[in-house]
């Protein structure tokens, strides 16, 4: 019979703890830091998934408050020493950027069984290196920390990530850099671009910041200015190039309700009150989205049907396959993941606080984006010219 004294128990506990710590640290190929961002670090692996022909990095941007933001980098298939680097963010807010990876521009898609991938010959990595980032926390593989409730905080985390990443990989840092995304990325990306521009020209040399060669911002079906964009739901549903998808009486009601929606948006613009924001979102859902969904139309493709009433999952079967594949243990181990995968987090705290377009998207329709762009185009040259003069 073996009797464990208190001291022996402490010794065994210490050894086990050291072994666990070693196991936890051994899964990472590198841990990257930056003196200017002592609360941030990158834990990094080199996976071989999706497209085994290119260099990959995956892992987490960790922040001291417990936040872990997942990223996955793919090097260009073409000329990685010359091709630009691109950061991709999906919208929501609360949608994983692996949606963009697997369904839109990434190097692979998920097969119909959800147990493997299919090579994408048309991926954007044909001519650019791409970083897919899951933010804010609790979406995709990201987890931990407090909810981010403003774009400025989210942008600072991204800027810290870029500085740490480019400090380690100087070969990518000297290349042209682009910000790209869709939907609520219309809010994320300008804030990130603002930080990049600010620190590029006003940083303290002691901090050893790398100049990021920001060349452009690409925003697909972006949520930029609801006051302008929300006016065009009736036109998109009742008078788009695809013809009306709602009957005459429903269209008339939609136009009446849209006027009330704009009043609510104006009220929120003036008050900046969270309750007023909630009223806008709820009214839009009830009066703009619900009649469209009741008509059996797909929110993200006006050309397709969708049975939202009985089973909305049938509208997007690819989503189910992405979740199934992403939660496979072998996939998570290869990527260095220690959390479950969440495709979309309908979190009201995130949702309430936070240019090119597809012409069939009703939810973020191109008519509103076009109208916002035309309103904005007269202002941009003056703003940019003033900025150029100040920087020059």
Q: Per DSSP, which regions of the chain are E strands? A: 30-33, 40-45, 56-63, 68-74, 85-89, 108-110, 117-119, 129-133, 177-182, 214-220, 297-298, 301-305
Is residue 307 assigned to a domain? Answer: no
The per-residue pLDDT for 205 is 58
Question: What's the whole-number mean pLDDT along residues 353-375?
Answer: 66
Using one digit for the tens of pLDDT, what is the confidence trace for 259-309?
999 999 999 999 988 889 889 989 999 999 999 989 988 888 888 888 877
Number of domains in the chain: 1
Q: Which range of residues forms the domain containing residue 124?
A: 24-226+317-392
Cβ–Cβ < 8 Å for 277, 246: no
Average pLDDT, the chain: 82
Give residue 151's pLDDT: 65
Residue 368 near residue 232 (C-beta atoms within 8 A): yes
CA 351, 354, 357: angle at the middle one, nearest 5? 95
* Predicted confidence (pLDDT) at residue 382 exceeds the cutoff of 70: no
CA 256, chain centre distance (Å): 34
DSSP state of 129: E
**What is the C-alpha to C-alpha distance for residues 9 and 13, in angstroms, rounded to an integer?**
6
Highest mean pLDDT among 249-253, 272-276, 362-366: 249-253
Residue 16 CB neighbours (<10 A): 10
Which of 5-9, 150-154, 168-172 has the least mean pLDDT? 5-9
Q: How far apart are CA 285 and CA 280, in angstroms?
A: 9
Q: DSSP string covering 251-303, please? A: HHHHHHHHHHHHHHHHHHHHH--HHHHHHHHHHIIIIIIHHHHHTTEETTEEE
Q: Is residue 152 part of a domain?
A: yes
With respect to residue 359, please indicate whether it lies within any of the assigned structural domains.
yes
Residue 391 scores a pLDDT above 50? no
Whole-model pTM over 0.85:
no
d(CA 225, CA 358): 17
> Is residue 352 assigned to a domain?
yes
**Tens digit of each residue's pLDDT (9 = 90 or more) over 162-212:** 999 999 999 999 999 999 988 877 777 888 998 898 888 876 655 788 999
Question: DSSP letters along 157-209, please?
Answer: HHHHHHHHHHHH-HHHHTS-EEEEEETTHHHHHHHHHHHHHHHHHH--GGG-P
From residue 166, alpha-carbon distances to 86, 171, 238 in Å are 13, 8, 48
The pairing of strands 68-74 and 85-89 is: unpaired
Contact 277, 269 (CB under 8 A): no
| pLDDT over 90 percentage in the chain | 48
Residue 2 predicted with pLDDT over 80: no
Report the CATH number at residue 110: 3.40.50.1820
Instruction: Find out whether the peptide bond into 301 is cis, omega within 30 degrees of 0.
Output: no
> How far is 260 from 278, CA to CA, in rounded Å?
15
């Amino acid at each position: 019979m073996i009797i464990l004294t208190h001291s022996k128990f402490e010794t065994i506990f210490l050894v086990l703890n050291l072994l666990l710590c070693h196991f936890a640290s051994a899964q990472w190929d590198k841990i990257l830091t930056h003196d200017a961002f002592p609360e941030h670090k990158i834990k990094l692996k080199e996976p071989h998934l999706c497209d085994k022909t290119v260099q990959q990095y995956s892992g987490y941007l960790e922040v001291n408050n417990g936040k872990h933001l997942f990223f996955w980098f793919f090097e260009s298939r073409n000329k990685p020493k010359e091709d630009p680097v691109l950061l991709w963010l999906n919208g929501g807010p609360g949608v994983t950027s692996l949606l963009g990876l697997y369904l839109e521009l990434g190097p692979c898609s998920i097969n119909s069984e959800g147990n493997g991938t299919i090579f994408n010959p048309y991926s954007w990595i044909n001519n650019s290196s791409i970083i897919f980032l899951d933010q804010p926390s609790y979406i995709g593989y990201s987890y931990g920390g407090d909810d981010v409730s403003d774009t400025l905080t989210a942008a600072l985390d991204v800027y810290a990530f870029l500085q740490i990443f480019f400090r380690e990989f100087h070969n990518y840092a000297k290349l042209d850099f682009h910000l790209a995304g869709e939907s609520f990325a219309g809010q994320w990306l300008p804030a990130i671009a603002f930080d990049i521009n600010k620190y590029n020209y006003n940083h303290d040399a002691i901090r050893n910041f790398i100049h990021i060669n920001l060349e452009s911002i690409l925003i697909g079906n972006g949520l930029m200015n609801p006051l302008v964009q929300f006016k065009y739901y009736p036109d998109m549903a009742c008078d788009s190039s695809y013809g009306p998808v709602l009957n005459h009486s429903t269209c008339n009601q939609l136009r009446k309700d849209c006027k009330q929606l704009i009043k609510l948006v104006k009220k929120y613009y003036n008050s900046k009150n969270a309750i007023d924001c909630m009223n806008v979102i709820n009214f839009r859902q009830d009066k703009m989205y619900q009649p469209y969904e009741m008509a059996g139309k797909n929110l993200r493709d006006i050309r397709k049907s969708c049975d939202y009433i009985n089973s909305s999952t049938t509208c997007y079967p690819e989503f189910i396959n992405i979740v199934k594949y992403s939660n496979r243990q072998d996939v998570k181990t290869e990527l260095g993941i220690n959390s479950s995968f969440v495709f979309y987090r309908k979190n009201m705290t995130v949702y309430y606080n936070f240019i090119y377009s597809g012409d069939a998207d009703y939810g973020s329709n191109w008519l509103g984006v076009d109208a916002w762009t035309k309103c904005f185009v007269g202002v941009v040259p003056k703003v940019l010219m003033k900025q150029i003069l100040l920087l020059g």
